[in-house]
């Protein structure tokens, strides 16, 4: 059974492992160098200070994935818009983990009186796009060749959900 709960400090090593695997092996994150535990701790502290949720999906003590929201743009006019991030352990992808993580994240954003949630997704990541669309996100932009990783240019799609 998979449960979704608020992340704890003790979850950071597992979240780091998931994030670094994604950096090293996928186009889902556009960083090119693995992060350190200190970086993940700083990130988690910032989320707490901002009042943004960080949720994990867990099964039998194993973190299968995590998600959060972040400020969409740093200017005050964007204070009611956030960008979501969802990361799933390699061996758990395609098993519905993201679909379990996103609804409580959306609910938490609504509680924070967020008006719009944006998902920035690499254009060939059909699985992530499909999960977001099933939850009501609509594609609103397609940026051509705005990222570069693994020796190729990447497109970025923005999907939006008005809460």
Closest of 108, 33, 20, 19 to residue 66, by C-alpha: 19
Compute, in degrees rounded to 10, the torsion defined by CA atoms 120, 100, 15, 143.
Answer: -10
CA gap 139, 133 in Å, rounded: 8
| Tens of pLDDT, residue by residue, the chain (163 residues) | 999 999 999 999 999 999 999 999 999 999 999 999 999 999 999 999 999 999 999 999 999 999 999 999 999 999 999 999 999 999 999 999 999 999 999 999 999 999 999 999 999 999 999 999 999 999 999 999 999 999 999 999 999 999 9
Please state the three-class secondary structure of 47-107 as a single string.
HHHHCCCEEEEEECCEEEEEEEEEECCCCHHHCCEEEEEEEECHHHCCCCHHHHHHHHHHH
CA gap 18, 15 in Å, rounded: 5
Burial (0-12, 13-18, 19+ Cβ within 10 Å), 55? buried
Contacts of 95 (CB under 8 A, 6+ apart): 64
pLDDT score recorded for residue 1: 92
Cα-based distances in Å from 155 to 17, 27, 106: 26, 10, 25
CA gap 151, 49 in Å, rounded: 37
pLDDT score recorded for residue 38: 98
Fold of 3-162: Aminopeptidase (3.40.630)
pTM reported for the whole predicted model: 0.96
DSSP element (H, E) containing 4: strand 3-6
């Amino acid at each position: 059974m998979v449960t979704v709960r608020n992340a704890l400090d003790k979850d950071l090593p597992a979240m780091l492992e998931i994030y670094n695997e994604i950096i090293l092996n996928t186009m889902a994150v556009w960083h090119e160098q693995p992060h350190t535990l200190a970086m993940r701790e700083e990130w988690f502290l910032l989320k707490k200070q901002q009042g943004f949720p960080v949720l994990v999906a867990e099964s039998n003590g194993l973190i299968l994935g995590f998600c959060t929201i972040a400020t969409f743009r740093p200017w005050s006019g964007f204070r009611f818009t956030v960008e979501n991030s969802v990361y799933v352990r390699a061996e758990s992808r395609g098993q519905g983990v993201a679909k379990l993580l996103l609804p409580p994240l959306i609910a938490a954003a609504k509680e924070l009186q967020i008006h719009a949630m944006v998902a920035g997704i690499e254009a060939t990541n059909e699985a992530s796009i499909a999960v977001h669309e099933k939850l009501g996100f609509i594609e609103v932009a397609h940026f051509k060749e705005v990222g570069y990783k693994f020796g190729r240019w990447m497109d970025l799609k923005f999907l939006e959900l008005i809460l």
